[in-house]
Amino acid sequence: MAVQAEYEVVYILKNSIAAILIVIAGIAIRLLAHRLDKKLSSVIRRKKVAWLEKLKESGSYDEIANRYRKMASKQNKEYEKNNLMGLAALYEHDSETAIKYFQEANQFATGNYINMVEGNLAIAYLQNRWYHEALEMFDYQCENGSVAIFPYILALIMNDEEEEAKKFYKLNIKELKDTEKEFIDLILSFSPTKKDILEKVKSKSDDSRIWIYKPVIKDLIFKWNLIIFYNSTERQTILKEQGQKLLLDLKKQPQIFNSPEIKYMCSLISNVLPRISTYEGNSSLWGLIDNLDWFSFKLPLDEVMQEECNLFWSRIYYVFSRTSTADTYDFTKNQTFIKDQLPPDEKEVLDGSYRCSLFLSSTLHLVVRVLEIDEDGFKYFYSDIVDETTAEELLMDVKPVIKLIKEHPETEEILEPLLYRLVYNRNLVKEIDIINVLNRIPSNLHQILNPIKERRRGN
């Protein structure tokens, strides 16, 4: 029996060792397979990057876009297809299309793909010059531990957060390529006294690795020029002389007789010229119509004249934003100034009874919006130009609400906040907001507001 027991122990021991060896062999095989898989994936990734880098170096951006479209056509999952289509649009500098594709992809992406799509969407915001939205998205990614370093630094700079950009760069410098380090070192070293940096950045902005961000670099250089101008001791003289010359040049344009846009621009410049020759005048431009820099590019003029007009208004906005205080605000002057800037054919479609006004110009195809703003108890009136498309959408929402208030005054208390929010930013008003309003008014009035709700279905 002892011999039998010893045999069984030896037999069991041998089998246990064999089993352990089999397990170890299995683990080794899996590790080897994993390494081979990683190596293969790395090779595939390098091949993918290789074709992209090769085309970028040759400046073949259209070919890159075409490649991404071909890749998109082979995808089974819609979000993967949309992501690739968005990348194609980015390389064509069609940021609005890219945003639409990435937003679609972001709704349905799963797993690690979510972070990739969010990063691409942030880059599209950046390219589209939606700097605040881009920074919000990058901040969210950074908080979650994964963010694209180079575009994040650009977003911080374009949001006037240079110190944060420097801190982030210092922490992540080892992760960047040499060309990226060189470029970031350059843009982070800018100061109003280092004007030569502008030319250096301009010369590097054609680098293939920065192609996607070229519109941002253009804005960055423009921003630096504003900073240099602001720090000039002659800025008031420069601004006044620029405005006088611009007005003369506009009046010489042969198309002025048939262009209500140029006539309106001349009127605006004539109105503001007496106010900008002094520091006090510049700092008290409360009520100056916003978006005139954008409107400059809508004028039927050559590109040089458009850019000069844009620069003039951009300088005024920049100086005002840095010199105005509550002490420089005067209610009466503010109201008079706004009225003086309205288009000659303005038609008031919404009076100021509800803390907001809308003035429609049929010849200019735009709306001037006036809003009462309350910032921690400091109230002032803000005005801007709304483009034709936005104006049409805005009026489509606002007119039914105005109609309802006029015909049923008892709804005013409920509808006034909605009306103000629509005028302030109609995109902030969601379907649930309209539903909440409908729940508070008689059901026989719902049909008037239902179209507003339908336009927001699902939002």
Report pTM: 0.80
Among 27-41, 76-90, 188-202, which is the least confidently predicted range? 27-41
Task: Reply yes or no on whether the pLDDT at 21 is more than 80.
Answer: no
Task: Reply yes or no on whether the pLDDT at 6 is more than 60.
Answer: no
Residues paired with residue 384 on neighbouring β-strands, in sequence order: 290, 369
Say what the pLDDT of residue 36 is: 46
Q: Report the pLDDT averaged over residues 440-446.
A: 95
Which residues, including other chains, have CB under 8 Å from residue 358's CB and lie 6 or more apart? 348, 349, 350, 367, 368, 369, 370, 394, 395, 398, 423
- Structure-derived torsion over alpha carbons of residues 113, 117, 122, 126, reported in degrees to the nearest 10: 140
Residue range 301-328, pLDDT digits in tens:
999 999 999 999 999 999 999 999 999 9
Task: Reply yes or no on whether the pLDDT at 431 is more than 80.
Answer: yes
Say what the pLDDT of residue 168 is: 96
Residue range 196-227, pLDDT digits in tens:
899 899 888 878 778 999 999 999 999 999 99
Alpha carbon distances (Å) from 424 to 175, 334, 371: 42, 19, 7
How much is the mean pLDDT over the chain? 88
Residue range 104-113, pLDDT digits in tens:
999 999 988 9
For residue 370, give the H/E element and its range.
strand 366-375
Determine contact, residues 296/310, Cβ cutoff 8 Å: yes
For Cα atoms 186, 189, 190, give the angle at the middle one, nearest 5 degrees.
Answer: 100
Q: Report the pLDDT averaged over residues 57-84.
A: 93
Say what the pLDDT of residue 8 is: 41
Residue range 273-295, pLDDT digits in tens:
999 988 899 999 999 999 999 99
Determine contact, residues 268/292, Cβ cutoff 8 Å: yes
The single-letter code of the amino acid at 172 is N
pLDDT category of residue 17 using cuts at 50, 70 and 90 = low
For residue 233, give the H/E element and its range.
none
Question: β-strands 378-386, 366-375: how paired?
Answer: antiparallel
Determine contact, residues 269/256, Cβ cutoff 8 Å: no
